[in-house]
Amino acid sequence: MTDTRGFSGSHLLIAFATGAAAGAVVALVTAPRTGKETREALQGWADDVRGKAERLPRAMGAAVERGTKAGKEAFAESYRGNSPHGDG
């Protein structure tokens, strides 16, 4: 049998992010630094991730809003018989 499910884009993104995080942890742990330097690097990384995580809900909301608007416009154009791509 052939498995036709494959991977969705979100599964691929999660796998990539997990691999990147694992690689970053290994790099930090095995880097030739003192314990203090490693802790400072980890703190900087954590602060960066925290800042991005704080912006994520607003960015996702804006993206969903833009996508919804574009979808509604495309549906309305299609319903009226106007194709935005010039093929109808």
Which amino acid would we find at residue 27?
Answer: A
Dump pLDDT digits (tens) for 20-61: 888 888 887 787 878 888 888 889 988 998 888 888 888 889
Mean pLDDT of the residues in the chain: 81
pTM of the complete model: 0.41
pLDDT-above-90 percentage for the chain: 16
